[in-house]
């Protein structure tokens, strides 16, 4: 059985970003059922909100988000979002994401319910594509192993603890098992469950299904 410290299922922003951090702690394998760039991230338009402006703050970002949510927001989750946003933008910049600039600084726009200019873009509305391509290129140039066209089919357990993952090689039909210390499911959403949606074809809820079956 192939052994890794970290196995990550999915190759969108979440999976790629996690892999780049995890490689500093041990061996990493990414399993993705299409190519490394098949994900919703690549098609995501618009921008990213972060309180990095001189007159902005995480508290103002929090207040705007709670107000816009109109009672639907989980306040603990919003706190994490607004407090960590600035550091995560720094990470993306260090990875080489080419955010749009103005006079030598990251350009900030004001959109939707935000009271301050805090929306970052990359390539105009092609923000998702620029982040995805930058991170996938960084992963491919690293020592992170990537298995494309490989569908995770079962979480392997040992005494009710995660032991690894079973996966189908969609090109050959062979099934392999991979062992790990830590398993991260970063498979995205389930938009393709609906007849009408704007999701990528790969957004079929695989991770949700794996977790449900694994711990049923």
pLDDT of residue 215: 73
pLDDT of 26 above 90: yes
Residues 150-167 have a mean pLDDT of 94
pLDDT of 184 above 70: yes
pLDDT of residue 45: 85
Q: At residue 102, what are phi and psi to the nearest 5 degrees? A: -145, 120
Would you place residue 98 in the very low, low, confident or very high pLDDT band (cuts 50, 70, 90)?
Answer: very high
Would you place residue 1 in the very low, low, confident or very high pLDDT band (cuts 50, 70, 90)?
Answer: low
The pLDDT tens digits for 28-70 are: 999 999 999 888 888 888 899 999 999 999 999 999 999 999 9
Three-state DSSP state, 156: strand
Residues 2-22 have a mean pLDDT of 96
**Which domains occur in the chain, in start order?**
2-41+140-214 (3.50.50.60), 46-125 (no CATH)
pLDDT of residue 144: 95
Determine how many CB atoms are found less than 10 A away from the CB of residue 164. 22
**Cα torsion 81, 82, 83, 86: sign:** positive
pTM given for the model = 0.91
Three-state DSSP state, 179: strand
Strand partners, 156: 164
Report the share of the chain in percent with pLDDT over 70.
Answer: 99
pLDDT of residue 210: 92
- Of 128, 173, 127, nearest in space to 153 by CA: 173
pLDDT of residue 216: 66
């Amino acid at each position: 059985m192939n052994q890794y410290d970290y196995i990550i299922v999915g190759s969108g922003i979440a999976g790629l970003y996690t892999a780049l951090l995890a490689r500093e702690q041990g061996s990493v394998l990414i399993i993705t059922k299409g190519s490394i760039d098949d994900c919703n991230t690549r098609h995501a338009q618009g921008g990213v909100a972060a309180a990095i402006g001189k007159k902005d703050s995480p508290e103002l970002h929090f207040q705007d988000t709670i107000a816009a949510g109109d009672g639907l927001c989980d306040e603990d989750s919003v706190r994490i979002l607004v407090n960590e946003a600035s550091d995560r933008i720094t990470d993306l910049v260090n990875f080489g994401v080419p955010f749009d600039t103005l006079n030598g600084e990251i350009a900030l726009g004001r959109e939707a319910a935000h009271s301050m200019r805090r929306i970052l873009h990359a390539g105009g509305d092609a923000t998702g594509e620029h982040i995805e391509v930058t991170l996938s290129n960084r992963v491919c140039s690293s020592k992170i192993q990537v298995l494309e066209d490989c569908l995770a089919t079962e979480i392997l357990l040992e005494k009710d603890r995660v032991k690894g993952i079973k996966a189908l090689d969609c090109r050959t039909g062979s099934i392999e098992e991979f062992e790990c210390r830590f398993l991260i499911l970063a498979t995205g959403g389930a938009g393709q469950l609906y007849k009408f949606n704007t999701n990528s074809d790969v957004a079929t809820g695989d991770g949700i299904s794996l977790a449900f079956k694994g711990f049923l």
